[in-house]
Amino acid sequence: MGAVNIDVALVRQLIATQFPRWADLPVTPVAEGGWDNRTFHLGAHMTVRLPSAAAYSLQVEKEQRWLPKLAPRLPLPIPVPLAMGRPGAGYPWPWSIYQWLDGEIATTDRIANLSQFAANLSQFLVALQRVDATGGPPPGPHNFFRGGPLTVYDAETRQALETLESAIDTGAAAAVWEAALAATWHGAPVWFHGDVSAGNLLVKGGTLSAVIDFGTSGVGDPACDLSIAWTFFAGESREMFRAALPLDTATWARGRGWTLWKALITLAALPGTNALAVSESQRVLHAVLADH
């Protein structure tokens, strides 16, 4: 099917027909509303979140089911589902209404102490990994195989290395990738977030105030949650993040692998088309190779 036009008019229509008690509340787009899902304010205290494609719609029911079970065991607020919407008004997938979480997307200038921020994030991830994983969602299409073995992206990574042969140090990158593949995970499944990035971390009063978007969450190998060590932290803050997580060197090797994969496919797919994404991926790639 073609692209679905997700706008204020659609959201108003869905609310009016499925949740008439909220039909009089204003609907406005969220400034940083995301790409996988489109997010809107509903009144002052709620958000409406609609998947932008079929692949992301698999995450709606998962979040509705599991976020209320995770929330009481975590040291920071996470999204609170209030209702689940059905397809309608020409929109083909389930969607969610959440309680609004106050805070701004994490940027270094909004954070009072980056090392303390890193330590707080580590504490959150440790708590998440300690939640009972029984019956939790294993890696699969719903989270693009986060938490599973890196071998699922081996062909894609090698294709990217081939494409980038003359643009980067492919020998060093291949060494990081081989090390990640060799660092096989043998642990019991634990909960992971799946997309620990600055855009999913909220800041209030200079400190980490909430963690959002659990669409790629699941139970399995937590290595995928380490990418922020190279995408956002550096130097002292990276060391603080690493020191506060009780993970072995093999897990960190796999974490570098997840980060490398994303940087490589971005660089390989976007040469000359998105300078910002390319330059950011080059920076991340350099950080991963230097750390290895």
Q: What is the pLDDT of residue 31?
A: 81
Pairwise CA distance, residues 291 & 287, whole Å: 6
Structure tokens of 277? Answer: 């994404």
- Indicate the class that CATH gives domain 105-291: alpha beta
- DSSP string spanning 49-86? EEESSHHHHHHHHHHHHHHHHHGGGSSS----EEEEE-
* Residue 2 confidence (pLDDT): 58
CATH of 8-100, one of 3.30.200.20, 3.40.47.10, 3.40.50.10790, 3.20.20.70: 3.30.200.20
Residue 178 contacts residue 282 (beta carbons within 8 Å): no
Condensed to tens digits (0 to 9), the pLDDT of residues 82-119 reads 999 999 999 999 999 999 999 999 999 999 999 999 99
Q: Locate tokens 């620990």: which residue? A: 196
Tens of pLDDT along 242-276?
A: 999 999 999 999 999 999 999 999 999 866 657 77
How many whole angstroms separate alpha carbon 75 and alpha carbon 124? 6
Dump pLDDT digits (tens) for 119-173: 999 999 999 999 999 999 999 999 999 999 999 999 999 999 999 999 999 999 9
Assign 207 a pLDDT band (cuts: 50, 70, 90).
very high
Per-residue confidence (pLDDT) for residue 273, from 0 to 100? 59
pTM for the model stands at 0.94
Confidence of residue 204 (pLDDT cuts 50, 70, 90): very high
Q: What is the mean pLDDT of the chain?
A: 95
Which ranges in the chain are annotated with CATH 3.90.1200.10?
105-291
Query: Where do you find CATH 3.30.200.20 in the chain?
Result: 8-100
**Which DSSP letter does residue 166 get?**
T
Among 284, 143, 152, smallest CA distance to 227 is for 284
Place of tokens 């959150």: 124
CA 263 to each of CA 22, 144, 260: distance values in angstroms, whole numbers, following the listed order: 42, 16, 5
pLDDT at 270: 63
CA dihedral of 239, 240, 242, 246, whole degrees rounded to 10: 140
